[in-house]
């Protein structure tokens, strides 16, 4: 019985040919590299992270890194498979660091902010509160003050003007500018 062409390994290029194809921007070479090493990368990530979903994300990041960094591969430094495993090790370390940062933020949210209400067991909500508090602290003092009075004391803009002695138009301007800055900064966080 003859093997089917799709399972025949001899049709795939050798590592040095594959490296040249990648450097030349050949997407077929990337597909071959993915077929050849994705299972290994996924296994390394899964064993290190203990989460199949994160392992899949890391695997995708690794091969995106292979494609973007293909011009940086130097055959004299080692085999292309070793280079890919090196990229995987860095991505796994990044994922573990990000996990630690998230856990630290959630832990600090639990001690710094009282978790009350229906979302008290939701770590994502706690993380959102920490991020919002951090970004609010970065605003200029007048905008910070107006937004804190608005959201934490539930005051209207007229009430804020009366309490602070600021003209109503100034309160409205601080509110608009402060919310715009928060929206911009928190929008950037969501894209990273």
pLDDT digits (tens, 9 = 90+) for 145-174: 998 888 877 888 888 999 999 999 999 999
Domains and CATH numbers, the chain: 12-103 (1.10.1740.10), 138-191 (1.10.10.10)
Structure tokens at 98: 């990000």
Name the one residue in this structure whose structure tokens are 């690794």. Answer: 62
Of the candidates 37, 31, 38, the one whose C-alpha atom is nearest the C-alpha of residue 79 is: 37
Q: How far is CA 102 from the centre of its chain?
A: 11
pLDDT over 50 (residue 7): no
pLDDT digits (tens, 9 = 90+) for 97-152: 887 777 666 655 544 444 445 555 566 666 777 777 888 888 899 998 998 888 87
Mean pLDDT over 65-86 rounds to 91
The 3-class secondary structure across the chain, one letter per residue, is CCCCHHHCHHHCCCHHHHHHHHHCCCHHHHHHHHHHHHHHHHHHHHHHHCCHHHHHHHHHHHHHHHHHCHHHCCHHHCCHHHHHHHHHHHHHHHHHHHHHHHHHHHHHHHHHCCCCCCCCCCHHHHHHHHHHHHHHHCCCHHHHHHHHHHHHCCCCHHHHHHHHCCCHHHHHHHHHHHHHHHHHHHHHHHHC
**Taking each helix axis from N to C terminus, what angle separates 157-164 and 141-152, rounded to the nearest 10 degrees?**
130
Measure the CA–CA gap between 130 and 134, rounded to whole angstroms: 6
């Amino acid at each position: 019985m003859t093997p089917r062409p799709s399972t025949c390994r001899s049709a795939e290029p050798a590592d040095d040919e594959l490296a040249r194809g990648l450097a030349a921007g050949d997407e077929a070479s990337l597909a071959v590299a993915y077929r050849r090493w994705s299972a290994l990368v996924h296994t390394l990530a899964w064993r290190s992270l203990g989460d199949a979903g994160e392992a899949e994300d890391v695997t995708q990041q690794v091969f995106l890194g292979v494609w973007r960094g293909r011009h940086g591969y130097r055959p004299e430094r080692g085999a292309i498979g070793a280079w890919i495993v090196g990229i995987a090790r860095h991505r796994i370390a990044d994922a573990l660091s990000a996990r630690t940062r998230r856990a630290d933020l959630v832990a600090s949210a639990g001690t710094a902010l009282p978790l009350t209400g229906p979302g008290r067991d939701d770590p994502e909500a706690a993380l959102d509160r920490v991020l919002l508090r951090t970004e609010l602290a970065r605003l200029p003092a007048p905008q910070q003050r107006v937004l804190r009075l608005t959201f934490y004391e539930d005051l209207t803009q007229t009430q804020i003007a009366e309490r602070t002695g600021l003209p109503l138009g100034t309160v409205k301007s601080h509110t608009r500018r402060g919310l715009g800055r928060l929206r911009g900064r928190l929008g950037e966080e969501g894209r990273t």
